[in-house]
C-alpha cells in the first residue's frame, strides 16, 4: 500500500506560509500590532492552524527565533580565519538592508526580556558575531577588546534616522499594557 506524501507536503507548505506571514506581519505592524490575527491575515490561513502547528504565539516565536539569521555568518571555508573586521561589519549591514525581519529583530532586542526566544537567539548570534569580529581584529593587529563596541555601533544601523531600512521599520517601544505582561506572553 502506497502512502501519499501530499499531507506532509501540505503541512510543510502551510508551516512555511505561517512563518513567512509571521515575519511579514511583525515587520509591517510592529511588536504592538503583531498577534495571531495579524499573522493569520498575512499568512492567509485560519487562526486554528497557527495554534495547531505552533501551539500559539509562544511556539510561533520559538520557531521564528530558531530559524532567524540576525547576524550573518561570514562567507568562506573557515570564516573565523578569513574575514576582515570591515568585511564582517559590512556583511551585517548589507544583511539588515536586505532582510528587514533581521533588522527588526536587532532593534526589538532592546525591549525584550532575556527569557524571550527572540532575545536568546539574538544574544547567541551577537556573541558569535562579536567573537568572529574580535578574531578578525586580532589578525589585523588591532585590539580585540574593541569588538563589543564595534558591534554596538553596528546596531545603530537599526535605529530610526540612521539608515533607510531603519526608517521603514515599525517602532519597538512596548505599550504600557505590554510592559505589565508576563514574560511568556511577550
Q: What is the pLDDT of residue 137?
A: 92
Question: In CATH, what is the architecture of 6-62?
Answer: Orthogonal Bundle (1.10)
Phi, psi (degrees; rounded to nearest 5) at 123: -60, -40
Rg of the chain (C-alpha set): 19
CB neighbour class for 5 (10 Å; exposed up to 12, middle 13-18, buried from 19): exposed
Rounded to two decimals, the pTM is 0.74
Q: What is the pLDDT of residue 157?
A: 66
Q: What is the pLDDT of residue 22?
A: 94
Q: What is the pLDDT of residue 165?
A: 54
Q: What is the pLDDT of residue 186?
A: 34
Closest among 146, 129, 128 to 137, alpha carbons compared: 146
Domain with CATH 1.10.10.60 in the chain: 6-62
CA distance linking residue 97 with residue 99, whole number of Å: 6
Q: What is the pLDDT of residue 117?
A: 87
Q: Are 126 and 153 in contact, with CB atoms under 8 Å apart?
A: no
The pLDDT profile of the chain, 186 residues, written as one tens digit per residue, is 555 566 777 889 999 999 999 999 988 888 778 899 999 999 999 999 999 999 988 899 999 999 999 888 766 555 556 788 888 888 888 888 888 888 888 888 878 888 888 888 899 999 999 999 999 999 999 999 999 988 888 877 666 666 555 555 555 554 444 444 333 333
Q: Are 104 and 27 in contact, with CB atoms under 8 Å apart?
A: yes
Cβ-Cβ contacts under 8 Å for 146 (sequence gap 6 or more)? 137
Q: What is the pLDDT of residue 181?
A: 38
The CB density around residue 157, as the number of other CB atoms within 10 Å, is 18
Amino acid at each position: 500500500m502506497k502512502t501519499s506524501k501530499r499531507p506532509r507536503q501540505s503541512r510543510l507548505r502551510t508551516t512555511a506560509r505561517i512563518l513567512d506571514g509571521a515575519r511579514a506581519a511583525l515587520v509591517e505592524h510592529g511588536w504592538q500590532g503583531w498577534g495571531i490575527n495579524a499573522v493569520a491575515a498575512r499568512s492567509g490561513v485560519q487562526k486554528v492552524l497557527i495554534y495547531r502547528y505552533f501551539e500559539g504565539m509562544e511556539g510561533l516565536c520559538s520557531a521564528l527565533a530558531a530559524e532567524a539569521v540576525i547576524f550573518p555568518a561570514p562567507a568562506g571555508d573557515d570564516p573565523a580565519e578569513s574575514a576582515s573586521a570591515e568585511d564582517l561589519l559590512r556583511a551585517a549591514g548589507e544583511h539588515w538592508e536586505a532582510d528587514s525581519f533581521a533588522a527588526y529583530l536587532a532593534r526589538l532586542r532592546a525591549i525584550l526580556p532575556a527569557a524571550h526566544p527572540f532575545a536568546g537567539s539574538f544574544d547567541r548570534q551577537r556573541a558569535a558575531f562579536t567573537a568572529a569580529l574580535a578574531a578578525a581584529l586580532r589578525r589585523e593587529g588591532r585590539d580585540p577588546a574593541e569588538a563589543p563596541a564595534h558591534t554596538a555601533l553596528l546596531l545603530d544601523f537599526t535605529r530610526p534616522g540612521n539608515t533607510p531600512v531603519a526608517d521603514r521599520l515599525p517602532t519597538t517601544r512596548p505599550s504600557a499594557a505590554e510592559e505589565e505582561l508576563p514574560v511568556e506572553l511577550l
